[in-house]
Structure 1
Amino acid sequence: MQRIIKNNTVFNENWHLLPKGASFDSISSCDNLIVPLAMWCEYANTLKARYGSLGVWLDADEEAEVISCDVEQFQVIALNFPVFTDGRNYSNARLLRDRYAFKGELRAIGDILRDQLFYLHRCGFDAFALRADKDPYEALKSFKDFSVMYQSATYEPLPLFRRR
């Protein structure tokens, strides 16, 4: 079972993440389900009517605007980082939190490393599914790497010079 970091604590994963291309028939036995964006677009009405919690995940080349009217339907929105050097979902996270007012769990999935967690958190992520070869307890230390932040962030909208 995979472990995730959520709100600075390590938890055992309790959501089932469907991969791209998964069959719609495979969702019947899952209570907490995170579906790919394409499945949400095709089966939104059926997914809304099913029993259980619902989430959606977007790949790096998919835009948050596609689900902007539906954010209240999801308990979790997961943003996939196919490689750690692909930063496109940092922007999607800011859009989901700041423009579309998503209040649920915003989770980073994919090629997530310890060095990214501090910056992902500043963009609005509150849950992180690290790569399987990384220790989540060691990664928790990354949230204390910096004590002062000059720039604004999702949870701190004022830059340092405005906070004085």
Structure 2
Amino acid sequence: MPRWARIAAVGAALTNVPSALWRLSIAVGIPVGLAQSEYDAMDAPGRGSLALVTLSVISEFFAFLALGLVQSWGETWPRWVPYLRGRRVPVMLGTGVAGLGALATTVFGALFVYTSLNADMQGTTWGIWLLNIAYSPLLLWGPLLGVVTVHYYRRRMAASPMPA
């Protein structure tokens, strides 16, 4: 496995950490420089905290899956997966899911930049800066995942025996 592919996969997996920490801070009541109306709109801390925590956990889970493209569990189903354990992960399944993920996260990153530049967020200057700093790594998620996905496909196809 080339070092660059591992670094790209780890990078893709870590792009969500700053935004997740930002959301978790709000969920537990740590002020991040937004106006009270922004916290009220999110209902956080409070009932909205569950949505912030859930979003953080789900996004981290999907980001973590990028590591499967450079690990053995991306080629062979892990033993804890019923009925599939030990079987090879179909190349097109891994590539298709990762490719759709790369496309979706690239679009999400672009939409975030567009909306954040045009949004009327209320808060302190440092709070708006912190928001943008926390979310800006998401711009890299899609491209990093895309590069690792192409590498995964090429590597797996080169290792697969050709049908007779």
TM-score by length of 1: 0.23
Structure number with the higher strand fraction is 1
Asked which structure has the greater CA Rg, the reply is 2
Structure number with the higher helix fraction is 2
TM-score by length of 2: 0.23
